[in-house]
Amino acid sequence: MKNQFQILIVEDEAPNREALAMLLKKAGYEIQVAASGEEAFERLNKTTFDIVVTDLFLPGINGIEILKRVKKESPDTHVLMITGNASAETAVEAMKEGAFDYITKPINFEKLKLLMAKALEKSLLVAENTYLRQQLRGKYRFENIIGTSLAMQNLFSRMEKVVSTDSTVLILGESGTGKELVAKALHFNGPRREKPFVAINCAAIPADLLESELFGHVKGSFTGAIHDKAGKFEQANGGTILLDEIGTMPLHLQTKLLRVLQEHEIERVGGSKKILLNVRLISATNADLENEVRLGKFREDLYYRLNVIPIQLPALRERREDIALLAHHFLLKNCQELKRPKMTIAPEAMEALENYSWPGNVREMENVMERSVTLAERSILHVEDLPPQFGAAKPQPGEGNQGMPSLSPKGIDMERYLAGLELHLIREALKMANGVKARAAKLLGIKRTTLVEKLKRATGQTD
């Protein structure tokens, strides 16, 4: 069978170009060549390539610009960079922009062929949807969301309730609390699991491009719209779309999104054909959307449409019971990845972890453990092996320190301190009462409804 992979080679030096073309032709690929970035752009207008092999340094339009354009128009095309001098910086920039890999001159053809085979294998895997999804399903089962605290139990039970439905979900929580993880778990455990899961980070895309990213565009609808392009909504059809950092969406797009949600159909930018949508919508934000609504920055009607089922993720400091569990989980995971023998955490190091405030939540825990396992020389992790902030870890106000707070010259945030103390007492009472809220309330001399209210405010749980 003829090999249907299409390869574009961009190289200004003729001998190199010819040599590459000959070699890859021999390997059975369909080859097109371009002697400049400009020529490459012309070829890109006509053909969708599987792989673009491009020199980084070209006289006019350079390799990075080619890479950027390819990745924007055809994200599944792999770009291999050839760099003249081994300038690590530009190579890193290329990788950041989404290059598959880079190879330095003089080109080692065997290595190049190997890289190409790897890239093509990856494309095949992407095409082999079911295989990939099965793998993903393993990764995003609820069991992969770690936590046994009350807040997490509430989260799981809420997820159970919505996982098999099409309800619109709004996931709220600080950075690193697992919003994307929860969104994926809902998709890959639900009835749409065989269909696409498409995520778009509204904050990462410039406002003027967001509309076409979401809804697609037709050729010629604006400068740079060289092809017809399907937007994320269309790509997600039949499956789930995650609109991440929805709070940053500009107002005019909010209006458009609202219309799409009401009418269940989209039109590509500049197009007139209506496309019927069957998409489950999950949105996520770490912003206080209600406040954004009050400030007039977020449409109230859209807010209500998105917030059908709110799922609030607790901050890690609000579920300190889970810290040890998560620390061990990431410790072992990193040991496995680094192929080191299993490690343990010394009690004083665990205490430091448990007392820390974790502003970056689970993501920070993940990073701390990766760093610590990588750098630790012994098999027991000590405080010295943790990043500097743990050396000075002190108990958080109201969490664990039973005495009166000492007021430092810097002052103290009394509201927060008192809220922390209150939450601590409620937790203790709940523990003592085996989780029975009425009994816990009695222990504290407050009404059950008051306890529920306070707990709700502190952890964001509504159950």
Ligand X SMILES: Nc1ncnc2c1ncn2[C@@H]1O[C@H](COP(=O)(O)OP(=O)(O)OP(=O)(O)O)[C@@H](O)[C@H]1O
Q: Which residues contact ligand X (rule: CB under 6 A)?
A: 145-147, 173, 175-181, 286, 362-363, 366
Nearest-approach distance from CB 365 to ligand X, in angstroms: 7
* 180 scored as a contact of Mg ion (CB under 5 A): yes
Q: Closer to Mg ion by CB, 56 or 249: give it.
A: 249
Instruction: Find which of ligand X, Mg ion, none residue 147 binds, CB within 5 to 8 Å per kind.
Output: ligand X
Helix (H, G, I), strand (E, B) or coil at 167: coil
Instruction: Find which of ligand X, Mg ion, none residue 159 binds, CB within 5 to 8 Å per kind.
Output: none
Helix (H, G, I), strand (E, B) or coil at 323: helix
* Binding range to Mg ion, per CB under 5 A, among 127-135, 137-145, 180-188, 225-233: 180-188
Nearest-approach distance from CB 232 to Mg ion, in angstroms: 15
Q: Closer to ligand X by CB, 44 or 246: give it.
A: 246
Instruction: Find which of Mg ion, ligand X, none residue 286 binds, CB within 5 to 8 Å per kind.
Output: ligand X
What are the structure tokens assigned to 381, written together?
């992790």
Nearest-approach distance from CB 183 to Mg ion, in angstroms: 8
Locate tokens 């709004």: which residue?
170
* 366 scored as a contact of Mg ion (CB under 5 A): no
Check if the beta carbon of residue 63 is closer than 8 Å to that of residue 54: yes
What are the structure tokens assigned to 185, written together?
């778990």
Q: Work out whether strand 275-276 and strand 344-345 pair parallel, antiparallel, or are unpaired.
A: unpaired
Instruction: Find which of ligand X, Mg ion, none residue 398 binds, CB within 5 to 8 Å per kind.
Output: none
Nearest-approach distance from CB 176 to ligand X, in angstroms: 5
Q: Closer to ligand X by CB, 67 or 281: give it.
A: 281
* 65 scored as a contact of Mg ion (CB under 5 A): no
Check if the beta carbon of residue 463 is closer than 8 Å to that of residue 311: no
User: What CA–CA distances, in Å, run from 319 to 26, 55, 137, 278, 395?
Assistant: 60, 51, 26, 37, 15
Nearest-approach distance from CB 138 to ligand X, in angstroms: 14
Q: Closer to ligand X by CB, 63 or 173: give it.
A: 173
Instruction: Find which of Mg ion, ligand X, none residue 320 binds, CB within 5 to 8 Å per kind.
Output: none
Instruction: Find which of Mg ion, ligand X, none residue 178 binds, CB within 5 to 8 Å per kind.
Output: ligand X
Which helix (DSSP H) or strand (DSSP E) does residue 236 occupy? none
- Mention every residue, 6+ apart, whose C-beta is less than 8 A from residue 412: 397, 405
How far separated are the first and last CA of the chain, in Å rounded? 60
How far is the C-alpha of 357 from the C-alpha of 353, rounded, in Å? 9
Provide the b/e sequence for 58-96 (b: ≥16 CB within 10 Å). beebbbbbbbebbbeebeebbbbbbbeeeeeebbeebee
Binding site for Mg ion (CB under 5 A): 179-180
